[in-house]
């Protein structure tokens, strides 16, 4: 047993989530050959890459990432294209890495951050803080403690007998708290949690949990902050398990849900945000206005809603206005086509 034990408690909510996830994974395994076919797995991988990068500010769409995979030219900021290429390569190497291996961890970081930072594949040499605007919301441990802290965390992985769903979430939180690299900590933490989970159940490597997290980006950071303030990663564990369960449920309906159940015109290139918008409209018995849609989606930022949800759905001809000749009408509502 490792002498190091990360501080976390197991709440009733966590126990319920583990039970629900295990049950739903059983259903998913039973239908995986039919519903998690190669096409759907590829789409999920694209969604995973797009979601994880988007959390870090990358603006590439799923269509653009698909084009990069296919070797097509993409007109976008070079840095964002490089981030996508790196992530694609990292997920190609995914199955060759072991979660408890520091060597593999550093190789993964080198792959993800190649050409983006000078110290890719090395722990940070300086001190860092996590910023929100101009405010420091987390000051990471000093750089001279990083190697020992990471050694403790990595040695804890094979020694703990807690459930992998808990272990992966604890690791993810502790990794973000340590912030071992000068950049790329968020995408590495999410990648490594998926790696840990995949060794428990390979199906979890095929689910786009990152796209679920991206749709709740503010809540992701709030869960990290609540765990830090409480010196207990339970809030973050609950948040991540909720998103894992959501990703499983999303895939349980298989390709029918992804491509046809929401709307006949939905394609594999629909973003997670547009998909959520379509689901809200599908569940509604009547057209909804902008305020109603934002409320149901839990969104406060009007500009973000318009750019990420409403406009793409309109441009793709998936939804329509109830007053098309007066797009800015205060009475305007939206419905599925």
pLDDT of residue 35 exceeding 80:
no
Name 139's bridge partners. Answer: 129
Mean pLDDT of 313-322: 90
* Backbone torsions φ then ψ of 177, nearest 5 degrees: -65, -45
Predicted pLDDT at 33: 52
Residue 82: Cβ-neighbour burial (10 angstroms; 0-12, 13-18, 19+): middle
The per-residue pLDDT for range 225-270, each reduced to its tens digit, is 999 999 999 999 999 999 898 888 877 655 344 434 333 333 445 6
Residue 155 near residue 4 (C-beta atoms within 8 A) = yes
Whether residues 143 and 171 fall in one domain? yes
105 or 324, greater pLDDT? 105
Whether residues 214 and 297 fall in one domain? no
* Backbone torsions φ then ψ of 326, nearest 5 degrees: -135, 75
Predicted pLDDT at 270: 62
Residue 36's CB is within 10 A of a number of other CB atoms, namely 20
Mean pLDDT of 102-116: 97
Is residue 200 a part of any domain in this protein? yes
pLDDT band at 196 (very low <50, low <70, confident <90, very high): very high
The number of folded domains in the chain is: 2
Is residue 2 a part of any domain in this protein? no
The per-residue pLDDT for range 124-171, each reduced to its tens digit, is 999 887 766 676 667 889 999 999 999 999 999 999 999 999 999 999
pLDDT of residue 198 exceeding 60:
yes
Range of the domain at 194: 12-252
Predicted pLDDT at 178: 96
Name 320's bridge partners. Answer: 335
Q: Whole-model pTM?
A: 0.71
Predicted pLDDT at 205: 83
Mean pLDDT of 290-304: 84
Tokens at 334, concatenated:
């939206």
Q: For the chain, give the mean pLDDT.
A: 85
Q: Where residue 96 sits, what CATH number does that domain have?
A: 1.10.3290.10
Is residue 65 a part of any domain in this protein? yes
Tell how many helices (H) and how many strands (E) occur in the chain: 16, 4
Predicted pLDDT at 332: 93
**pLDDT > 90: percent of the chain:** 48
Predicted pLDDT at 241: 94
Predicted pLDDT at 262: 37
Is residue 1 a part of any domain in this protein? no
**pLDDT > 70: percent of the chain:** 88
CA distance 195 to 168: 9
Residue ending a domain, among 252, 271, 303, is 252
Helix axes 38-55, 185-200, angle to 10 degrees: 150
Residue 50 near residue 80 (C-beta atoms within 8 A) = no
Whether residues 332 and 204 fall in one domain? no
Name 334's bridge partners. Answer: 288, 321
Cα-based distances in Å from 145 to 3, 140, 179, 208, 221: 17, 10, 11, 33, 24
Predicted pLDDT at 132: 64
The per-residue pLDDT for range 207-225, each reduced to its tens digit, is 878 777 877 778 888 899 9
Whether residues 206 and 78 fall in one domain? yes
pLDDT band at 193 (very low <50, low <70, confident <90, very high): very high
Is residue 279 a part of any domain in this protein? yes
Residue 236 sits at the vertex; the CA angle it makes with 88 and 233, to the nearest 5 degrees, is 120
Is residue 3 a part of any domain in this protein? no
Residue 8 near residue 233 (C-beta atoms within 8 A) = yes
User: HEC profile for 172-226?
Assistant: HHHHHHHCCCCCCHHHHHHHHHHHHHHHHCHHHHHCCHHHHHHHCHHHHHHHHHH
Whether residues 65 and 210 fall in one domain? yes
């Amino acid at each position: 047993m490792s002498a190091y034990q990360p501080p976390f408690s197991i709440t009733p909510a966590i126990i319920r989530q583990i039970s629900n996830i295990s049950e739903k994974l059983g259903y998913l395994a039973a239908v995986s050959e039919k519903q998690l076919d190669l096409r759907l797995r590829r789409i999920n991988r694209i969604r995973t890459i797009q979601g994880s990068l988007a959390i870090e500010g990358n603006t590439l769409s799923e269509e653009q990432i698909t084009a990069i995979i296919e070797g097509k030219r993409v007109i976008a900021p070079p840095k964002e294209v490089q981030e996508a290429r790196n992530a694609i390569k990292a997920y190609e190497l995914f199955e060759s890495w072991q979660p408890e291996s520091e060597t593999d961890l550093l190789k993964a970081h080198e792959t993800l951050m190649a050409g983006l930072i000078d110290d890719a594949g090395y722990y940070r040499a300086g001190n860092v803080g996590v910023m929100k605007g101009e405010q420091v919301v987390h000051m990471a441990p000093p750089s001279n403690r990083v190697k020992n802290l990471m050694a403790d965390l990595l040695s804890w992985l094979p020694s703990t007998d807690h459930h992998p769903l808990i272990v992966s979430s604890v690791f993810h939180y502790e990794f973000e708290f340590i912030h071992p690299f000068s950049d790329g900590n968020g995408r590495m933490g999410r990648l490594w949690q998926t790696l840990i989970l995949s060794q428990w159940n390979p199906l979890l490597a095929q689910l786009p949990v990152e796209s679920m997290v991206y749709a709740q980006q503010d809540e992701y950071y709030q869960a990290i902050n609540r765990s830090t303030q409480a010196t207990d990663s339970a809030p973050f564990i609950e948040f991540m398990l909720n998103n894992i369960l959501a990703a499983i449920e999303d895939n349980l309906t298989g390709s029918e849900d992804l491509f046809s159940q929401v709307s006949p015109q939905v394609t594999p290139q629909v973003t997670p945000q547009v998909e959520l918008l379509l689901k809200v409209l599908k569940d509604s018995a009547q057209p909804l206005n902008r305020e109603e849609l934002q409320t149901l989606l839990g969104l406060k930022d009007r500009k973000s809603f318009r750019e990420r949800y409403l406009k793409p759905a309109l441009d793709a001809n998936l939804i329509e206005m109830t007053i098309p000749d007066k797009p800015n009408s205060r009475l305007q509502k939206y419905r599925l086509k």
